[in-house]
Chain A
Amino acid sequence: MKRLESNLLNMVLVLTISALFAAGALAGVYMLTEEPIRLAKENKKQEALKVVLPEFTCLSEPEIVNDLVVVKAYNNDEFVGAAVESSAVGFSGEIKLIVGFDAEGKIVNYSVLEQYETPGLGTKIVDWFKTDKNRQNICGLNPSQVNFTVDKDGGDIDAITASTISSRAFLAAVQAAYQAYTNNPDYVDSYSGASAQADALPCDTDSLQTTLPDSINKNF
């Protein structure tokens, strides 16, 4: 069959038909994959928060405390902790992380969301401060009871070898997160015994909070 001639009618016809076909095919696949994509994104967010928080059944709406985003977690209507997003300027850019605290103010875990530090040195912040060696593990420590600065500055945490600036920034971010955490109304300071009011608990037993702060959205 000879190739179609390149006159105006044929060209316009072919272009229009192919454009329509393409749009149709794409719309079809889009509808097929819309749900799985949404679920995959949801799953990722839930997984991320599960890593840094103790066991929970529902989450509160994100609140802004001290300019930082705080998401509280409840296990069957009992306040079990909160996750705070924090950041600090590191060696080559902003370090963004999310720290999970339990109800007593101890750090459960952390996750570095974004960093641009020197590969092999500053990038170690991702797991250095979770490793149980010397005095570098911050998990399980309470920033009000432990001096959260690097040993060089008289603190109690071992900095990453040859990456003092990145370590300092990391710890500063964790400290800021703790400040925001202790400023939220559900926090009970077990040390001093002072307690905050029991807020009307926002736990809705059949829905796990799905609208998370935009920055978590972007990074996950």
Chain B
Amino acid sequence: MAYFLIIISAILVNNIVFTQFLGICPFIGVSKKIDTAIGMGAAVIFVLILSTIVTYLINLLLVKFQLEFLQTIVFILVIAALVQMVEIILKKISPSLYQALGVFLPLITTNCCILGVAILVAQGNYKTFGAEAGLLTGTIFAFATAVGFALALVLFAGIREQLSMVKLPKGMEGSPIALIVAGLLAIAFMGFSGIV
């Protein structure tokens, strides 16, 4: 039951883009068309789950040797290495998927939400609704967060596609109107607060 609550909380109530402000750069940069948004969303889900598991395990080692101050540097190197590895493996196993994801894969390294979620899970700093903050709970949280990110991205892309056909004042074109739309989406998501 707690897992179900964690999922609902991470996707809707505490959506990573609209309430925690992680993953904004790709959110604004990659959301001009729905297919690219879906591609990026899928890539993020994949990498986020993988990196959360690996960084959580490595963090256990860091804590054991009292080397917590190396957390930032170790995590980001692990994430960079993972992304590189995923790229190579994907190229070999499924060239079509690799083509579909294209340039998004390397971009994910600088996506704040990957490092952000890795740190949150390693420190147990998320609502667990009674479940123990271990590897399984953390992975479920990471999965749900990534789905929330993908959801936000696709929704936003849908709106932006429509927006590109509308006439706007000169200064508003491009990012300003995108941000204002994002703000309205954020207000909409605020409606979910209090559910869990």
Q: Do chains A and B touch in the complex (CB under 8 A)?
A: yes
- Cβ-defined partner of A92 (8 Å) among B69, B73, B194: B194
B69 engages A26 (CB within 8 Å): yes
Which of chain A's residues has its CB closest to B124's CB? A218
B70 located at the interface, meaning its Cβ lies under 8 Å from any Cβ of chain A in the complex: yes
CB contacts (< 8 Å) of B70 on chain A: these are 23, 26
Alpha-carbon gap, A93 to B70, bound state (A): 34
Contact mask for chain B residues 156-180; partner A; CB cutoff 8 A; 1 contact, 0 none: 0000000000000000000000000
**Chain A positions 15-44 with a Cβ under 8 Å from a chain B Cβ:** 22-23, 26-27, 29-30
Chain A residues touching B, majority SS: helix
B193 sits at the interface (CB 8 A): yes
* Among B70, B73, B194, residue most surrounded by chain A Cβ atoms (within 10 Å): B194
A165: nearest residue on chain B (CB-CB)? B194
In B67-111, the 8 Å CB interface with A consists of 69-70, 73
Q: B residues within 8 A CB of A92?
A: 193-194
Nearest CB of chain B from residue A220's CB, rounded to whole Å: 15
Contact B69–A91 (Cβ < 8 Å): no
Instruction: Name 15 A/B residue pairs within 8 A (Cβ), A-sorted.
Output: A22-B73, A23-B70, A26-B69, A26-B70, A26-B73, A27-B69, A29-B69, A30-B69, A91-B194, A92-B193, A92-B194, A93-B127, A116-B193, A118-B193, A118-B194
Binding site for A on B (CB under 8 A): 69-70, 73, 127, 193-194
Binding site for B on A (CB under 8 A): 22-23, 26-27, 29-30, 91-93, 116, 118
